[in-house]
Amino acid sequence: MVRAGRLAQQALARHRRRRTRCNRVDSTGAVRLRTATFADGEAIAQLHKRNGMGDLDPVAWRAQWEAYPFAGEFRDIAIGWILETDTGRVVGYLGNVHMLYDLGGRAVKGAIAAAWMVDAGHRNMSLRLLTAFYKQDGVDLFLNVSANPTTARLLTAMKVPRIPIASYDVPCFWAARPRTFAEAVLRKRGTPGASVLARPVGIVLTARDVLLRSGRGRLASAVSRLSGFDGRFDSFWRSLCAGPPRLRAVRTRAVLEWRFGAQLRGGRAAIVAASQGGTLSGYAVLVRRQSPELGLDAYDVADLQAIRDDPTTIRDLLLASVSIAREDGVDAVKFLTGTPAKRAPADELRPYTYRLGHWQLYYKVESPELKTALSTADAWDCSLFDTY
């Protein structure tokens, strides 16, 4: 950690030494910083490819922004920033996702940094994008909740606070397909003959899971799989806000549809709902992804909410998620707990865990009142819902 901090400090020092030169380059028009527009979609997609960040569909990217549910609240806020050469080539980008949050009835305007990338030849100007993000007006809360190791070092060196959520760097996994899960773990450890050893190790993992009841148990709630978000989710959101006052992104039916609708329609997501007496008591949204840690085909628990953080409902939703993963032929279920209230029910289901190599969650606020309100882990409910 000390060495990482020194490296980050050295990077910042190099940036400061180059600042005068960078400003001179900007004045000649070689590279300039400007706000992003919808017209930049194709250029941003190409930037994604060049920087190994996967494919971006510019049409879908624009469509999601145009369907954005908080356009009125963030009318004058940028959708991101661009680094552009004098020939019009886009060489850098930082997305700026706006999100309305609730904190005990108080509306909090949040901005989430997304997809920070700069071509190799222009990375001496990377911090200009981050500076633009933190200097924007009209925002109460600045979030960077998907920091990679380099970003984590820079944010630490810049003294940007960590979100104080204990164990967020220790994800939970449940093996829906033990043999495949075993092979992925063996490959991760560099074990020779992983594919051959996967069968006997998978049998051992199955025995372990049965013995410890890992991802296994009877449900106490009526749990079902939904095909979409219906009117009950608006009532559920009102009930959720009446519970423990935590910072939560708004989750009305319209917002949930905006956030996950395309993935549901594309067969890449599933909704699990728990109910008591016909009333929605909790839900989980599962998003199918390749897990970067183990290379597994996994269901990420992208969002999980329960009225009053009821541990029985949380447990039932996690159990149902593992069952759906088995039905859908998915290798594992992964859960990052966004508040301590959700960690205990998850740990009772005896997951596989390990610690990530870096911290991912950082935030910044200017208001002393808001800073105090967000100073404890129990004040937060952060999850993959907030990650873009």
What is the CB-side half-sphere exposure of residue 75 using CA atoms within 13 A?
2
Whether 162 and 358 have beta carbons less than 8 Å apart is answered as: no
Q: Is 286 helix (H, G, I), strand (E, B) or coil?
A: strand
Q: Which residues contact 313 (CB under 8 A, 6 or more apart)?
A: 221, 274, 281, 282, 306, 307
pLDDT at 27: 34
Whether 102 and 248 have beta carbons less than 8 Å apart is answered as: yes
Q: Which residues contact 130 (CB under 8 A, 6 or more apart)?
A: 94, 113, 116, 154
What confidence tens digit (pLDDT) does each residue in 23-67 have?
333 333 489 999 999 999 999 999 999 998 888 999 999 999 999
pTM of the complete model: 0.87
Terminal-to-terminal C-alpha distance of the chain: 26
CA dist 380 and 342 (Å) reads: 11
What are the structural domains, with CATH classification, of the chain?
2-157 (3.40.630.30), 172-354 (3.40.630.30)
CA dist 148 and 357 (Å) reads: 10
What confidence tens digit (pLDDT) does each residue in 327-355 have?
999 999 999 987 889 999 999 999 999 89
User: What are the residues facing 333 on neighbouring strands?
Assistant: 174, 299
DSSP codes, 190-240: T-TTHHHHHHHHHHHHHHHHHHHTTT----SSEEEEESS--THHHHHHHHH
Q: Is 175 helix (H, G, I), strand (E, B) or coil?
A: strand
Cα 168 to its chain centre, rounded Å, is 11
pLDDT at 17: 46
Helices 126-135, 2-27: inter-axial angle, 10-degree rounding = 90
DSSP codes, 48-98: HHHTT-----HHHHHHHHHT-TTTTTTTT--SEEEEEETTS-EEEEEEEEE
- pLDDT by residue, tens only, the chain of 388 residues: 333 344 344 444 544 444 433 333 333 348 999 999 999 999 999 999 999 888 899 999 999 999 989 988 998 899 999 999 999 999 999 999 999 999 999 999 999 999 999 999 999 999 999 999 999 999 999 999 999 998 999 999 999 999 999 889 999 999 999 999 888 888 888 888 888 888 899 899 899 989 889 999 999 989 999 999 999 999 999 999 999 999 999 999 999 999 999 999 999 999 999 998 889 999 999 999 987 667 789 999 999 999 999 999 999 999 999 999 999 999 999 999 878 899 999 999 999 998 988 999 999 999 999 999 999 999 999 999 999 8
pLDDT at 167: 87
Backbone CA torsion sign across 287, 291, 292, 295: negative
User: What are the residues facing 97 on neighbouring strands?
Assistant: 112
Q: Which residues contact 60 (CB under 8 A, 6 or more apart)?
A: 262
Name the H helices within the chain: 2-27, 41-50, 58-66, 126-135, 149-157, 178-188, 194-212, 232-241, 253-265, 311-327, 340-348, 368-373
Whether 298 and 270 have beta carbons less than 8 Å apart is answered as: no
DSSP codes, 354-381: ---SS---EEEE--HHHHHHTSSGGGB-
- One-letter identity of residue 109: K
Residue in the structure block whose two tokens are 């997951």:
351
